Amino acid sequence: MQRPAKPCTPVRFRLQPPLNIIKNSMSDKKFLIFMPLGPMQYPALKYIQENNIGIIGFDGAIDPALKDLCDIFVNIDIFDIPKCLKAVNDLKKNYQISGALTTSADCHYTIAIISKELNSNLTWDDNISEICNNKFKTREFLRDIVAQPKSYEIESFGEIEKLYPIIKDIEVILKSPDSSGSRGFKEFKGLDEIRKADFEFTKSFSRSGKVLLEEKIIKTEKGISEISAEAYFYKDKIKLVNVVDRIFTDDVKKFKSLHIFKNNNFNSAIELGHINPTTVKKPIIQKIEALYKEIFDRLINITSLDLISLKLDLMIDVNENPILLEMTPRTSGGWDSCYSNIMISGNILRTQIDYVIGIKNKLEVFEQLNSFDMANHRLVVLGVPEANSENCIGRKFYTSCLNSLDKSIESVIESAIENYKKGNELEPISITK
């Protein structure tokens, strides 16, 4: 993907003890801590710049894609909270830091802790992040109020044997409880198929050293079976702001245009793209709204926030019921919130940034957020990995043309396939102010 044009020369430093802050004429300017600095963060970073807010970018890579959009760059492990907090406190001595934010990335817990330290605006806190940051904690927190797969947290291969009396005869999956992008995902016809090497493979992607063993949900075959939804809660009101159909390997057979990938031998957990807005019928949307109400009703017992953002990944089962797979407070990845939502006139990113940098208050944010069903166009984004890929990391993205809602999904996907065949990769866009 082509990197955006460089702005004025940035001030940079790498975090090496002792941390030497470089002073310049920007010391009276307000700054925002932002992480990470991948291509999907381009719309957010450009919009922050347009509002005359300085950007202090944190990233674990030495030369991330969008480093040149930052006024200050800190090369740091964005999941190492103590180190990130130390960097923020050192920076505070010379710069006015007004907040912190991430978009489409899993470092939301780090951001929650930094925002708490700064006492700044954010639509989630460390209590919410801690639950969302670990899939098993999510399962435990919501166990008695929403439908979820049966799941078991295990630390050693030997523990699997103890589960035979409980789940011996069902299909199961192994996955990391604290990483994304389908890293470490494995599926099996039964416990007998799991080998130690499989367990160790999944464990290698877990920051906690634990593995999640879950029952495999039987998906609906009536249409797209996985959904990502984003919603905001404010004072007992809920607004669905983004709902997309997620296209996975199992969906290739459902669309003629996708048959081009049928021999690529992708892992079944590979997400090949999304359709925005969703094509699911109103009864399923109503069930998703009811699910959100149950979750928000419980979340407000552990947080003092009255404006909360939350994304749910859901699977639609054979009974047309949404089953919760995982949840996160940050915006969706896969060029979802940061591309397709913008293209169909959504405003999630812009509105969230407006709140974090203090342009809008809570009420204005909630009232001005566009509901997902306000869209009058549809878009498909394809995310294509290498053949035989085991996860979603390193995909290349291709987009369809903007289409009316009455256009067939097959033809919309076909439009994206044409760009894939021509090698026309998706290019980041700016948020319209």
Instruction: Count structural domains, the chain.
Output: 3
Question: Pick the residue with more confidence: 322 or 169?
Answer: 322
- Does any domain span residue 190? yes
Q: What is the CATH number for 193?
A: 3.30.1490.20
In this predicted structure, the answer to whether residue 25 has a pLDDT above a threshold of 50 is no
The answer to whether residues 211 and 230 belong to one domain is no
The answer to whether residues 156 and 60 belong to one domain is no
The answer to whether residues 197 and 236 belong to one domain is no
The answer to whether residues 101 and 189 belong to one domain is no
Please report the pLDDT score of residue 27 as a whole number: 58
Please report the pLDDT score of residue 426 as a whole number: 96
- C-alpha–C-alpha distance, residues 290 and 308, integer Å: 16
Please report the pLDDT score of residue 178 as a whole number: 78
Phi, psi of 132 (to 5 degrees): -75, -20
Last residue of a domain, one of 159, 186, 215: 215
Please report the pLDDT score of residue 62 as a whole number: 97
The answer to whether residues 244 and 366 belong to one domain is yes
Last residue of a domain, one of 168, 192, 215: 215
Per residue in 362-399, pLDDT (tens digit) is 999 999 999 999 999 999 999 998 776 676 777 899 99
Domain with 252, as residue range(s), is: 226-422
Phi, psi of 176 (to 5 degrees): -75, 135
Q: Which residues are 237's β-sheet partners?
A: 234
Q: What is the CATH number for 74?
A: 3.40.50.20
Q: What is the CATH number for 311?
A: 3.30.470.20
The answer to whether residues 207 and 66 belong to one domain is no
In this predicted structure, the answer to whether residue 121 has a pLDDT above a threshold of 90 is yes
Largest CA-CA distance found in the chain, in angstroms, rounded:
68
pLDDT bucket at 19, cuts 50 / 70 / 90: very low
In this predicted structure, the answer to whether residue 187 has a pLDDT above a threshold of 60 is yes
The answer to whether residues 199 and 89 belong to one domain is no
Show Cβ contacts of residue 4 under 8 Å, excluding neighbours closer than 6 positions: 42, 46, 66, 69, 428
- Does any domain span residue 16? no
Q: What is the average per-residue pLDDT within 28-50?
A: 95
- End-to-end, the C-alpha distance of the chain in Å comes to 24
- Does any domain span residue 65? yes
Question: Pick the residue with more confidence: 264 or 380?
Answer: 380
Question: What type of residue is 15?
Answer: L
Q: What is the average per-residue pLDDT within 67-76?
A: 98
Please report the pLDDT score of residue 181 as a whole number: 63
- C-alpha–C-alpha distance, residues 249 and 236, integer Å: 38
The answer to whether residues 99 and 157 belong to one domain is no
pLDDT bucket at 205, cuts 50 / 70 / 90: confident
- Does any domain span residue 11? no
